[in-house]
């Protein structure tokens, strides 16, 4: 067995477990044989994301805010801290909650892990690189972030979470790790959360114009959620401490993405250009050398395949 996947878990706590990525993590952990406690206050998570898990043996839901100290029925051996508004629509609507989740929430999740002797993994983000001046971005790059811009509530919450996680490990020896996720997409995303893939798919299926910001030449690197989950669990099992990029190194422009979604949905929608948001990154692409070398991980699902799976899910579900 691949060494990065050789560690198994008896009981995992997933904060934000009713969210997009969190719910996929809960499913994968249950499938691996672990008991899973999902901690979520449903500020942005959705009950339907975990509806298929509620009756599965080993699954428990704790409805609680991580911004307050919380408890679970029995000590975990893994804590995955994924609670946070993650889409522009959410963190711009909930700026203080976003920062509290990244600070107080991270502190409380770290406390649970430390008291339980558990492995702790922080979900950070490519947003810590801001509008990068280094391309592609490796984990040594310190970023180019506007600390008072509209996106700063999310960027800085994650940067603080990384600093707090590092300080906890240094001061108390807690077993910690950090994953920086790049533009994950897939089933269970909300159609109008402000991210490109669900927005374009929802618009195409409705026959509406696809709204591309700016001239559409800005790039993103899209990683299908199944690949992201594999990378997260590999990082948890490996024991790697420092930040590690989990993302797809294949770039696509937003204009090309919009055209691809139109093609794959068979839509007659046209592209309409709108104003580009403040501090919107011009490029975004991970250097995944560390993940390949240490975790033996890289994405497997192509953009076309992942988008088709996501489109099928959106056809079957209303937002």
Q: Is residue 213 part of a domain?
A: no
Tokens read off for 220: 């993103």
Q: Which of 172, 188, 46 is nearest to 116 (CA)?
A: 172
For residue 86, give its domain range: 3-184+224-248+280-300
pLDDT in tens, 242-291: 899 999 999 999 999 999 999 999 999 999 999 999 888 999 999 999 99
Tell me the pTM.
0.95
Q: Is residue 263 part of a domain?
A: no
* Distance separating alpha carbons of residues 98 and 86, to the nearest angstrom: 8
Q: Is residue 309 part of a domain?
A: no
Question: What residue ranges of the chain have pLDDT lower than 70?
Answer: 1-6, 318-319
Q: For the chain, how many structural domains are there in total?
A: 1
What is the residue whose two structure tokens read 């099992």?
A: 237
Q: Which residues are registered as beta bridge partners of 78?
A: 12, 119
Residue 129 annotated to the active site: no
* Catalytic residue (choose from 91, 129, 141, 154): 154
Pairing between β-strand 35-40 and β-strand 59-63 as defined by DSSP bridges: parallel
Query: Mean pLDDT, the chain, as a whole number?
Result: 95
* Distance separating alpha carbons of residues 185 and 144, to the nearest angstrom: 24
Q: What is the CATH number for 70? A: 3.40.50.720
Q: Which of 69, 80, 64, 75 is nearest to 23 (CA)?
A: 80
pLDDT in tens, 157-188: 999 999 999 999 999 999 999 999 999 999 99
Q: Is residue 58 part of a domain?
A: yes
Tokens read off for 249: 């190194």
Q: Is residue 165 part of a domain?
A: yes
Q: Is residue 24 part of a domain?
A: yes
3-state secondary structure the chain: CCHHHCCCCCEEEEECCCCHHHHHHHHHHHHCCCEEEEEECCCCCCHHHHCCCCCCCCEEEEECCCCCCCCCCCCCCEEEECCCCCCHHHHHHCHHHHHHHHHHHHHHHHHHHHHHCCEEEEEEEHHHHECCCCCCECCCCCCECCCCCCCHHHHHHHHHHHHHHHHHHHHHCCCEEEEEECCEECCCCCCCCCCHHHHHHHHHHCCCCEEEECCCCCEEECEEHHHHHHHHHHHHHHCCCCEEEECCCCEEEHHHHHHHHHHHHCCCCCEEEECCCCCCCCCCCECCHHHHHHHCCCCCCCHHHHHHHHHHHHHHCCC
Q: Is residue 205 part of a domain?
A: no
Q: Is residue 37 part of a domain?
A: yes
What is the residue whose two structure tokens read 């937002």?
A: 319
Pairing between β-strand 119-125 and β-strand 78-81 as defined by DSSP bridges: parallel
């Amino acid at each position: 067995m691949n060494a990065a996947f050789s560690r198994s878990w008896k009981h995992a706590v997933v904060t934000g477990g009713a969210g997009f990525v969190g719910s996929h993590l809960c499913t994968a952990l249950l499938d691996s044989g672990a008991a899973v406690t999902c901690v979520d206050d449903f500020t942005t998570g959705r009950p339907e994301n975990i509806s298929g898990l509620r009756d599965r043996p080993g699954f428990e839901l704790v409805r609680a805010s991580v911004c307050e100290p919380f408890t679970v029925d029995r000590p975990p051996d893994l804590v995955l801290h994924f609670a946070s508004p993650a889409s522009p629509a959410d963190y711009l609507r909930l700026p203080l909650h976003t920062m509290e989740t990244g600070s107080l929430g991270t502190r409380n999740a770290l406390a649970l892990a430390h008291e339980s002797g558990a492995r702790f993994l922080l979900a950070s983000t490519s947003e810590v690189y801001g509008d990068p001046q280094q391309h592609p971005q490796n984990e040594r790059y310190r970023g180019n972030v506007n600390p008072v811009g509209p996106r700063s509530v999310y960027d800085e919450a994650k940067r603080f979470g990384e600093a707090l996680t590092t300080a906890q490990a240094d001061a108390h020896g807690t077993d910690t790790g950090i994953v920086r996720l790049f533009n994950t997409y897939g089933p269970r995303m909300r159609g109008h959360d402000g991210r490109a893939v669900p927005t374009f798919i929802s618009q195409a299926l409705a026959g509406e114009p696809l709204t591309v910001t700016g001239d559409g030449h800005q790039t993103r690197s899209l990683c299908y959620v199944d690949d992201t989950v594999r990378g997260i669990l590999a990082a948890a099992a490996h024991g790697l401490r420092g930040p590690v990029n989990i993302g797809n190194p294949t770039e696509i422009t937003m204009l090309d993405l919009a055209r691809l979604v139109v093609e794959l949905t068979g839509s007659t929608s046209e592209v309409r250009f709108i104003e580009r948001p403040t501090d919107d990154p011009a490029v975004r692409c991970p250097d995944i050398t560390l993940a390949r070398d240490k975790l033996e991980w890289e994405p497997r699902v192509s953009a076309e395949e992942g988008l088709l799976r996501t489109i099928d899910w959106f056809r079957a579900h209303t937002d």
